[in-house]
Amino acid sequence: MAVIKDSKEAEEKKTGSVEAIAEPAAGTFEEVECAKARLFHSKKEAFDIWGIKNHLLFIAGTIAALCVSASLPFITRVEDPQALVVPAQLVSMEALKEGKITDIFVKEGEAVKRGQVIARIVDSQDEREITKVKGESKLAQARLHVLDAKRIYSLERYEEDKRLLEKKVISRDEFQKTELSFRTLEEEREILKAELQALGEKLLGLDQEKNEGVVTAPISGNVISDIQEKYGTFVTKGEFLLTLASPEQRLEFFLAEEDYGRVDVGHPAKIKFYPFPTKTFRGRVVALKHYAEPVDKHGFKKNFIKVSIDLEDFPKGIRNGMTAKVRIKGRPVSLLNGIQRRIG
């Protein structure tokens, strides 16, 4: 019977201890402080087991690994989410002479071919000068015809008097009068010929100036300026007339000054146009401007370098002025070098 009693007491103690663990009773302030002290000492013992030295080695190793990874060149991408679609070639045309725009043969947005006449500029003073020179040239030509007719008679008389002088039929004084008359006529003809040549050269120069008033397209492309509004107006030499854009397109974006040297001609690029979010197009850097431009971004002015990209297959329907996301595989730099470039 004593054995049974002892087993029951042990079971009751065991059950009581489980209930005490499962539902701890609220203790006094001293008991709570003792529990905190026991917990602190248990954590301290666990820390001491691994060792302070190992903790320090782990921290130092972590810092060293971060420093090494920060100095490794693994950042290769140069991105711009707002690359601009532009014509591959833009030509701003200026007036080569002053005058009035009397004719315009194209409209804004119209496609033109190279050499096509776009407009005509006429200077009334040039027109009057051309008319005057043409009149003087005709008059000089008529005078020359008269002198040519006189020369035939004068030459015959000169040769006849020369034979008579040889036969001593006439005196030398009479022959010298005939010779002087012939030589004078020849000089008049030469002067008139020189005058005609000068008038011809002047007329040629005036015609060239007149031709400068004929505005022709230097490239094939589209007119992107409203030149119609200039009809009938007076323009000066060098004044802007219109802009032609080639049908070929390319992308341009501004490379931050701190990334200069990471991108060069020939580097491959991946492009995504916002109207085609699922397609990736391939291109290549074809040009970098030889100078930096100050650009205002987010209220701050920074220097940027314009980069041009040609695509292998430019998608149809993309208009000039649209934007695209460009990603270039450039020269790799480390994280530390990238930070230094921006804060250096």
Is residue 317 in some structural domain?
yes
- Report d(CA 74, CA 60) in Å as an integer: 23
Burial 241-278 (b: 16+ CB within 10 A, else e): bbbbbeeebbbbbbbbbebeebbeeebebebbbeeeee
Residue 286 lies in a domain: yes
> Is the residue at 59 inside a domain?
no
> Structural domain of residue 39, as residue ranges?
2-50
In terms of domains, do 134 and 29 share one?
no
Asked if the structure places residue 105 within a domain, the reply is yes
pLDDT at residue 48 in the model:
54
Residue among 199, 194, 189, 197 at smallest CA distance from 134: 199
**Residue 206: predicted pLDDT:** 80
CA distance 302 to 256: 8
- Which H or E run contains 92? strand 90-94
Of the candidates 96, 91, 94, 98, the one whose C-alpha atom is nearest the C-alpha of residue 114 is: 91
Give pLDDT, residue 258: 76
- Do 276 and 328 share a domain, yes or no? yes
pLDDT of the chain, 344 residues: tens digit per residue: 344 444 444 454 444 444 444 444 445 766 666 766 666 566 555 555 555 666 567 677 777 666 655 554 545 678 888 899 999 888 999 998 889 999 999 999 899 999 999 999 988 887 888 888 889 999 999 999 999 988 898 889 989 988 888 888 888 888 889 889 989 999 999 999 999 999 898 888 888 878 888 999 999 999 988 888 889 999 999 999 999 999 899 999 888 887 787 888 998 999 999 999 899 999 999 999 888 888 776 677 788 889 999 998 888 889 888 999 999 887 765 555 445 444 44
In this prediction the pTM is 0.55
295 with 339, same domain: the answer is: yes
User: Can you say how many angstroms the Cα of residue 31 is from the centroid of all Cα atoms in its chain?
Assistant: 80
Within a domain: residue 62?
no
Cα–Cα dist 221/89, whole Å: 9
pLDDT score for 71: 53
Read off the CATH number of the domain in which 319 is found.
2.40.30.170
Helices (H), the chain: 2-22, 29-50, 52-71, 124-166, 172-212, 335-343
* Contact partners, residue 155, CB within 8 Å, separation at least 6: 182
In a domain, 67, yes or no: no
Q: Domain count for the chain, please give it.
A: 4
Same domain, yes or no, for 113 and 221? yes
Residues 225 and 305 in one domain: no
Q: How far apart are CA 327 and CA 76, in angstroms?
A: 10
Rounded CA-CA distance 87/249 in Å is 4
- How many CB atoms within 10 Å of residue 177? 13
| Residue in the block written with tokens 């008038």 | 199
Tell me if residue 292 falls in helix, strand or coil.
coil
pLDDT score recorded for residue 36 = 65
Label residue 333 exposed, middle or buried (CB < 10 Å: 0-12, 13-18, 19+): buried
- For residues 114 and 236, membership in a common domain is answered with yes
Q: Are residues 175 and 295 in the same domain?
A: no
Same domain (yes/no): 103, 224 = yes
pLDDT, position 166: 87
Tokens of 113: 């071919």
116 shares its domain with 242: yes
Q: Is there a domain that residue 61 lies in?
A: no
Buried b (16+ CB within 10 A) or exposed e, 192-225: beebbeebeebbeebeebbebbebebeeebbbeb
Q: What is the CATH number of the domain that holds 99?
A: 2.40.50.100
Task: Kindly state whether residues 82 and 93 are assigned to the same domain.
Answer: no
Same domain? 165 vs 299: no
Strand 117-122 and strand 99-104: pairing? antiparallel
Q: Is 205 in the same domain as 335?
A: no
63 in any annotated domain: no
Nearest to 244 by CA among 101, 100, 119, 102: 119
